[in-house]
Amino acid sequence: MARLSNRERWDSVPEAFVAPGMATQPTGEYCDMVLKAQQNPEAFWLQQAQRLAWQTFPQAASRSDFTGDVLVQWYPGGVLNASESCLDRHLHTQPNKAALIWEGQEDGQREVLSYKDLHARVCRLANTMRRLGVKKGECVAIHLPMVAEGIIAMLACARIGAIHVVLFGGFSPEGLAERLSDSGAVLVLTADVARRGDKRIPSKETMDTALLRCAEKSRVQHVLVVPVTGASVPMHVGRDLNYAQEVAKEQPDCPAEPMQAQDPLFLLYTSGSTGRPKGLVHGTGGYMVWASFTHAVTFDHKPTDVFWCTADISWITGHTYVVYGPLANGGTIMVYEGLPSWPQPGRWWDVIDRNGVTVFYTSPTVVRAAMREDSAVLQSRSLESLRILGTVGEPISPEAWHWFHDEVGKGRCAVVDTWWQTETGGVMITAAANSVTPRAGAASLPLPGVEATLLDTQGTVVHGAGEGLLCMARSWPGQAQSIWQDHARFKQTYFTTCPGYYFTGDGARREADGYYWITGRVDDVVNVSGQRIGTAEIEDAIATDHEVVESAAVGIPHDLKGQGLVVFVVPRAQGVFHPDAVNRAVAAGVGRYAVPEKIYVVRDLPKTRSGKIVRRLLRKIAAHDLDGLGDLSTLADPDIVQELIALVGAQG
């Protein structure tokens, strides 16, 4: 398979920055980083390692190899502890600076923890874990809502060398049991009852059921119950312990466990194509460098920033940009427990104004939902503290990008759309704030040190402008090391489609000056009468209609054509949108051959909490195949599934 030569890699760098017609060139410092990372990646990444507090500084950056058995290895020989980089070193320079601002969803619930406070609470929990028998290298499951204790638990695990496994609070007992068994977790932290708007989520009862279902395989010895609401919950004598009572017994200081850079920091489960979750393993040294580097560069970090990433800590975005990146950089993080528009629209805007948030990083789903609210909701808020806006989870449409920039950012804030994955550990392609000129809807340019490339279906490198499979030619510090206890699956999933490269699973289009546009998962293709139609192409065409908020195109079996195209459309205003507008947009943007068989105008689409559309469900619903819909508890709005089933059933 053809690979880029060193000369070709070098030549491709300046082209993206000096192409004629760019409104603003990247800053000199940023461009210098890009060139240094290309010219001498080993020296560049050793320099970036200085962002952390090392007990033993590494003598080498990477020994990774995408061939053979596949090795992802960063900073061999280095020794450090992630919690020391996030906490201890800041105690010497800014002990009283706010590290974490937490607000609950109920009025008046607010807590500000300085670096000194956060360090003490992390140490108390770390000592508690050690007393309960948790050892270095063992897994601890964290099953908590967006409360401070979730972040404290992650850092406490890191402090004693335990591997944390953060589990989404909406998982069903089956989903939890599967992950508890696979990880071999020895300790669980869960809430008594979690809050989500006016709903109450029985976290402890759900965990009890999960532990019962995996009793034969479970290694869990203790369950620490965090009193989020104070509700009375069943407590199993000898196993279940009250979190507050246990940590109160401990001292506010705990020696940090020395960790090799390659030692796992955490496992994070992501769905696989087979439906069996993959426990991706992220190491300590490389991941921490990547978290610090990408947070600082992508968001133009300033010491005075109040950084609010709205992601749940159970997603990789929450790991990297709620916890490790900002704290490694000595920043202040904002954490809010509640929903954007509960108990009334504009709640998140109030959080921004009340806490002086300067960087707001959220999902396109949140942006689209805000677009549909009365304009007075936004106009009645100041938002003057904001300087950077960011989106993550899926590509943002040009219309939503411009609305975010003009209405929320008041035309003065940089908008950073970010492309990355659980597997990458942090941002890979973006228009770094105040360094790269963004293009609405584009992923933009690879960060310094990211060697993105396109390959065609024959495995040949696509040079210059073109379209193909989005791959990475070289490892980067944040790359996942493997799949927990299944390295063969890791190799098969990411390194066999394009041997010698990391294959992202996405397709992309690259412009002549190097800007990337993500075209969607490469398997999202519908074959209609021999015509292969990319669903992303259909959705892009529909997005040109300003009355459409979002859409999803899927293929279903068709007796004559092999597959038929079905589109689900969410309009800006219910009751005034006519499906014919979709046909016109598709015909104009793609061609008459791509006009859908059926169009359903819907209130919303089934999405994960991170904003990804669950197309598997849409395909089954559109095909009237309602067997085996699977676990719906992970959806942001599980009720939407029954709404769609009823709608499709009624319209045929």
Q: Residue type at 365?
A: T
Residue 397 confidence (pLDDT): 87
Give the strands of the sheet with 264-270, arranged side by side.
240-242, 222-226, 187-191, 139-143, 163-166, 264-270, 278-283, 482-483
Q: How confident is the model at residue 28 (pLDDT cuts 50, 70, 90)?
A: confident
Residue 633 confidence (pLDDT): 73
Residue-wise pLDDT tens digits, 414-461:
999 999 999 999 999 999 999 999 999 999 999 999 999 999 988 999
Q: How confident is the model at residue 7 (pLDDT cuts 50, 70, 90)?
A: very low
Please count the residues of the chain: 652
**Residue 541 to residues 247, 356, 439, 587, 607, Cα–Cα distance (Å):** 55, 38, 18, 9, 21
Segments in 214-284 forming alpha helices (H): 243-247
Question: Is the pLDDT score of 8 beyond 50?
Answer: no
Residue-wise pLDDT tens digits, 465-520:
999 999 999 999 999 999 999 999 999 999 999 999 999 999 999 999 999 999 87
Q: How confident is the model at residue 19 (pLDDT cuts 50, 70, 90)?
A: very low
Q: Is 467 helix (H, G, I), strand (E, B) or coil?
A: strand
Q: Is 471 helix (H, G, I), strand (E, B) or coil?
A: strand
How many whole angstroms separate alpha carbon 211 and alpha carbon 479?
Answer: 31
Whether 264 and 481 have beta carbons less than 8 Å apart is answered as yes
Looking at the chain, the whole-number percentage of residues with pLDDT higher than 70 is 93
Residue-wise pLDDT tens digits, 612-633:
788 889 999 999 999 878 778 7
The pair of three-digit structure tokens given for residue 142, joined into one six-digit string = 């964290």
Whether 399 and 546 have beta carbons less than 8 Å apart is answered as yes
How many whole angstroms separate alpha carbon 277 and alpha carbon 59?
Answer: 36
Residue-wise pLDDT tens digits, 573-600:
877 788 899 999 888 777 777 889 999 9
Residue 531 confidence (pLDDT): 63
Residue 6 confidence (pLDDT): 32
As a whole number, mean pLDDT of residues 636-649 equals: 92
Q: Which helix (H) or strand (E) holds 182?
A: helix 173-183
Q: Find the range with the poorest average confidence among 160-164, 308-312, 357-361, 551-555.
A: 551-555
Residue-wise pLDDT tens digits, 350-378:
999 999 999 999 998 899 889 989 999 99
CA–chain centroid gap for 55, Å, is: 30
Residue-wise pLDDT tens digits, 43-67:
999 999 999 999 999 999 999 999 9
The pair of three-digit structure tokens given for residue 641, joined into one six-digit string = 């599934």
Residue 15 confidence (pLDDT): 43
**For all residues of the chain together, what is the average pLDDT?**
91
Give the strands of the sheet with 54-56, arranged side by side.
54-56, 79-80, 259-260
If 0-12 CB within 10 Å is exposed, 13-18 middle and 19+ buried, where does residue 76 land? middle
The pair of three-digit structure tokens given for residue 237, joined into one six-digit string = 């004598």
Residue-wise pLDDT tens digits, 200-253:
999 999 999 999 999 999 999 999 999 999 999 999 999 999 999 999 999 999
Residue-wise pLDDT tens digits, 80-133:
999 999 999 999 999 999 999 999 999 999 999 999 999 999 999 999 999 999
Residue 249 confidence (pLDDT): 98
Residue 2 confidence (pLDDT): 41
How many whole angstroms separate alpha carbon 82 and alpha carbon 288?
Answer: 7
Residue 591 confidence (pLDDT): 73
